[in-house]
Amino acid sequence: MTTPVTDTPGVPDAKVAVPVISASHLDLTFQTADGPVHALSDITLDIAKGAFVSFIGPSGCGKTTFLRCMAALETPTGGALSINGMPPDEARRARAYGYVFQAAGLYPWRDIGRNVALPLEIMGYSKAEQRERVARVLDLVELSAFENKFPWQLSGGMQQRASIARALAFDADILLMDEPFGALDEIVRDRLNEELLRLWDKTHKTIAFVTHSIPEAVYLSTHIVVMSPRPGRISDVIESPLPRERPLDIRDTPEFIEIAHRVREGLRAGYQE
Amino acid sequence: MTDATAPTGKPRRKAGARWRVPPLPGMILGLIAVWYLAVIPMNVQETLTAAERAGAEVSPPSAVERRDMGAWALVARNPGELGQSWSLDRPRLPSPHQVLVELYDSTIDEELNGRRGLLRSGSLSNRGLAHHALVTLNATFLGFLIGTGLGILLAIGIVHSRVMDMSVMPWAIVSQTIPIVALAPMIIVVLYSVGIQGLLPKAVISAYLSFFPVVVGMVKGLRSPDAMQMDLMRTYNAPTAAILWKLRLPASVPYLFASLKIAIAASLVGAIVGELPVQKGGLGARMLAGSYYGQTAQIWAALFVAAALAATLVWAIGAAERRTLRKMGMAA
């Protein structure tokens, strides 16, 4: 397995690492029929290599928009944004990130293996390499036994795992996840959260993760970015003191509850303004 | 009401359920009955003329007067002289059994006993419906292939080029507003003048009718992947061709099949219309010949063969659709 070298694997404090995602005074205004909508306002944030950053906030706070800016799916109207030291669109063309959407979006006409191979086919990997990589990432998300099954034969949670495998297949250092577990029930979500942490630990990816759920954000992240709407902005950045190893019952510890409380306070403050 | 709500456990039989007829045969029987009835007023002029020739008293006795009278009035005034209605030599409306006899004569009987039939000459008789149906089918298939191919290509162009979207679609729509019967002879004449005749002109007319549903369906189908799917392709930095082959085309297959069902029927109509001015075989030629010589039974027989062909073709596309979509995991 070839994983990119991170500075200090296993150490949760990512402050010393180089920022892979860097935004300064980022602005984005959509021109709509009802007049301009200020989606992002003065966003300044550095995300270090190997960090797991969650974006949490109410609808319309711009968290998804910010993620889409990183992916060059939206173009900011002001400020600067760099991904791996490149402008986002260049980073996109360099295939610097894998993107996971809220819906798995697997092709019904391809089996799971071929779905995961889709980006590899497009990027021109050889057949042998495709097979090797598909096997590896399916193993990573524990779907090896389902390589030849079709999406409709899998549960929603399994489909989402397959879509994560698809995003991992081409070894981008950055994983952008837009509410990937938002449509799943809580039990499945817990399990996938646990798996995602293990995956992050194994692969040393930098993950930007958009969510609605406070427990999910606190459980997963090294950094929690609390955002508030109209205009979309960052109201708090919380660095989690939780260890890198996180069993599910860490959610009952006082530290966990305290961070969750702080996130909730931050969200409330954003609403009151 | 008390009966209906009584807790007898057994569902009450509806009144008249004993006489219930299955829906499809019931409808067919009904249509045949209407047809047999319609034969009387439709053929009343000829029936009364035949009865008069046979020496019967007909009212009014003057043929000129009868010609100006309504069909129902004649029926009402000559209820006893209508026995010939269903067995005239040249009826305006042949009765169902006459059409069936004609169907039998021009298919099985012609091939078995005809001088030019399959049994004696070793090839399908050119007077038989089977031969004409095959001629039409040839043009239909070729036209269908051309029309479908053209339709898919145009749709790909329309989806990828704004200029084509703005310029081709209006013309495609206009093309379908011109009556094909007006256009068909012109196409044949123009193609003949450049030395093209035979199968191709008919196929061109057939394609002219069949490309349109394919264009409309495929444009919709190629555009059916949602914003998320397109975004995903963008994150892979996928080239346009990859998006077309790996996403747009597979996603459009259900739309394609819906269009193909319309297109194959349109192809058949196109081929038949294309045969009208040429008169070199085919169901269209057969129908027109029937109308020239007052052989209405022949027209109707050809009509039924055409309808059966259309039904079979549409069914075949439907079967292919079910197979393909099941294989692609997209079965509804």
Where are chain B's structural domains?
Answer: 22-91, 129-327
Best of B229, B232, B235, B327 to disrupt the A interface (most A CBs within 10 Å) is B235
CB B128 within 8 A of CB B114: yes
CATH superfamily of B129-327: MetI-like (1.10.3720.10)
Q: What percent of chain B has pLDDT over 70?
A: 93
Per-residue pLDDT, averaged over A228-232, amounts to 83
Considering only residues 243 to 262 of chain B, which have any Cβ-Cβ distance to chain A shorter than 8 Å? 246-247, 250, 253
User: Is residue A125 assigned to a domain?
Assistant: no
Q: Given this model, what pLDDT does residue A36 score?
A: 83
Select the highest-mean-pLDDT range: A33-42, A256-265, B312-321. Answer: B312-321
CB-CB under 8 Å, B228 with A118 = no
Q: How confident is the model at residue A18 (pLDDT cuts 50, 70, 90)?
A: low
Kindly report the nearest CA distance between residue A143 and chain B, in angstroms. 19
Q: Tell me: the pLDDT tens digits for B63-99?
A: 888 888 888 888 888 888 888 888 888 889 999 999 9
pLDDT (0 to 100) of residue B69: 85
Average pLDDT over residues B28-43: 92
Interchain contact, A122 vs B235, CB within 8 Å: no
- Residue A8 in any domain: the answer is no
- State which of B41-55, B102-116, B314-328 shows the largest mean pLDDT: B314-328
- Model confidence at A6, in pLDDT bands (50, 70, 90)? very low
Task: Provide the pLDDT for residue B205.
Answer: 92
Q: Is residue A80 part of a domain?
A: yes
- Cα–Cα distance between A252 and A238 in angstroms, integer? 19
ipTM: 0.84
Q: Does residue B232 sit at the A interface (CB-CB below 8 Å)?
A: yes
Report how far residue A207's alpha carbon sits from residue A50's, in angstroms, rounded to the nearest whole number: 7
**If contacts are CB pairs under 8 Å, which of residues 25-84 in chain B contact chain A?**
none
Examine residue A112 and state whether it is found in any structural domain, yes or no.
no
d(CA A46, CA A48): 6
pLDDT tens by residue, A198-224: 888 888 888 999 998 888 888 888 888
pLDDT for the residue A209 = 92
What is the rounded average pLDDT of the residues B1-16? 49
Q: Any CB–CB contact under 8 A between B328 and chain A?
A: yes
Instruction: Give mean pLDDT, residues A83-88.
Output: 86
Residue pairs spanning A and B at CB distance below 8 A:
50
Residue A28 has pLDDT above 50, yes or no: yes
Kindly determine whether residue B328 and residue A108, on different chains, have CB atoms separated by under 8 Å.
Answer: yes
How many whole angstroms separate alpha carbon B257 and alpha carbon B327? 14
Q: Among A208, A212, A227, A176, which residue's Cα sits nearest to residue A43?
A: A227
- pLDDT of B6 above 50: no
Whether residue A217 contacts residue A239, with contact meaning beta carbons closer than 8 Å, is answered with no
Instruction: Give the Cα separation of A10 and A246 in Å (integer).
Output: 13
pLDDT of residue A81: 86
Query: How many CB atoms neighbour CB B146 within 10 A?
Result: 19
Q: Average model confidence (pLDDT) for chain B?
A: 87
Minimal CA separation from B242 to chain A, in Å: 7
B9 pLDDT higher than 80: no
Find, in chain B, the residue whose alpha carbon is nearest to that of A115. B246
Could you list the residue range(s) of the whole structural domain that residue A230 is in? 19-96+172-272
Predicted confidence (pLDDT) at residue B12 exceeds the cutoff of 80: no
User: What is the rounded CA–CA span in Å between residue A81 and residue A43?
Assistant: 10
Tell if the CB–CB gap between B237 and A98 is shorter than 8 Å. no
Chain A interface with B: residues with Cβ < 8 Å:
71-73, 92-93, 95, 97-99, 101, 103, 105, 107-109, 118-119, 121-123, 150-152
Residue in chain A closest to B232 (alpha carbons) equals A99
User: Confidence class of residue B19 from pLDDT cuts 50, 70 and 90?
Assistant: low
Give the per-residue SS3 of chain A: CCCCCCCCCCCCCCCCCCEEEEEEEEEEEEEECCEEEEEEEEEEEEEECCCEEEEECCCCCCHHHHHHHHCCCCCCCEEEEEECCECHHHHHHCCCEEEECCCCCCCCCCCHHHHHHHHHHHCCCCHHHHHHHHHHHHHHCCCHHHCCCCHHHCCHHHHHHHHHHHHHCCCCCEEEEECCCCCCCHHHHHHHHHHHHHHHHHHCCEEEEEECCHHHHHHHCCEEEEEECCCCEEEEEEECCCCCCCCHHHHHCHHHHHHHHHHHHHHHHHHHC
pLDDT tens-place string over residues A153-166: 888 888 988 998 89
pLDDT score of B5: 45
B241 contact A CB<8A: no
pLDDT above 70 covers a percentage of chain A that reads 92
| A121 to B329: CB separation less than 8 angstroms, yes or no | no
A31 lies in some domain: yes
Asked if A192 contacts A219 with a C-beta cutoff of 8 angstroms, the reply is no
- Residues A1 and B306: their CA atoms lie apart, in Å, by 65
User: Cβ A108–B238 below 8 Å, yes or no?
Assistant: no
Q: Please determine, for residue A13, whether its predicted confidence score (pLDDT) is greater than 70.
A: no
Q: How many domains does one find in chain A?
A: 1
The answer to whether A107 contacts B231, with C-beta atoms less than 8 Å apart, is no
Give the CATH number for residue A44. 3.40.50.300
* Higher pLDDT among residues A141 and B19, named by residue: A141
Residue A1 has pLDDT above 50, yes or no: no
Tell me whether residue A55 is in a domain: yes
User: What contacts B255, CB < 8 A, 6 or more positions away?
Assistant: B217, B218, B220, B221, B224
In angstroms, the separation between the Cα of residue B155 and the nearest Cα of chain A is: 22
Identify which of A103, A43, A67, A27 has the alpha carbon closest to the alpha carbon of residue A206. A67
Span B136-167, pLDDT tens digits: 999 999 999 999 999 999 999 999 999 988 88
Mean pLDDT of B290-319: 92
Q: Which helix (H) or strand (E) holds B129?
A: helix B129-160
- The predicted pLDDT at position A58 comes to 83
CA nearest neighbour of B86 among B75, B98, B74: B98
pLDDT number for residue A3: 39
pLDDT confidence tier of residue B18, bands split at 50, 70 and 90: low
The residues, ordered by sequence, that sit 6+ positions from B225 with a Cβ below 8 Å of its Cβ are B247, B248, B251
Look over chain A and give the mean of its residue pLDDT values, rounded to a whole number. 83
In a domain, A151, yes or no: no
CB contact under 8 A, B231 and A99: yes
Please give the full DSSP string across B163-179, using - where no structure is assigned: HHHHHHHHHHHHHTTS-
Residues of B in contact with A105 (CB under 8 A): 228-229, 232
**Sequence letter at residue A45:** L
Q: Residue A14: is its pLDDT beyond 90?
A: no
Question: What average pLDDT does this structure show over B309-318?
Answer: 95
In angstroms, the CA A174 to CA A82 distance is 13
Contacts of A150 in chain B (CB under 8 A): 329
What does the DSSP 8-state code read for residue B17? G
Is pLDDT of A15 > 80?
no
Segment B177-228, tens digit of pLDDT: 888 888 888 988 999 899 888 889 999 999 999 999 999 999 999 999 999 9
Q: Report phi then psi at A240, rounded to 5.
A: -80, 130
Whole-number pLDDT of residue A22: 85
Q: Is the dihedral of CA A9, A15, A19, A23 positive or negative?
A: positive
Is the torsion defined by CA of A254, A256, A258, A264 positive or negative?
A: negative
Distance CA(A223)–CA(A198), nearest Å, equals: 17
Residue B268 has pLDDT above 90, yes or no: yes
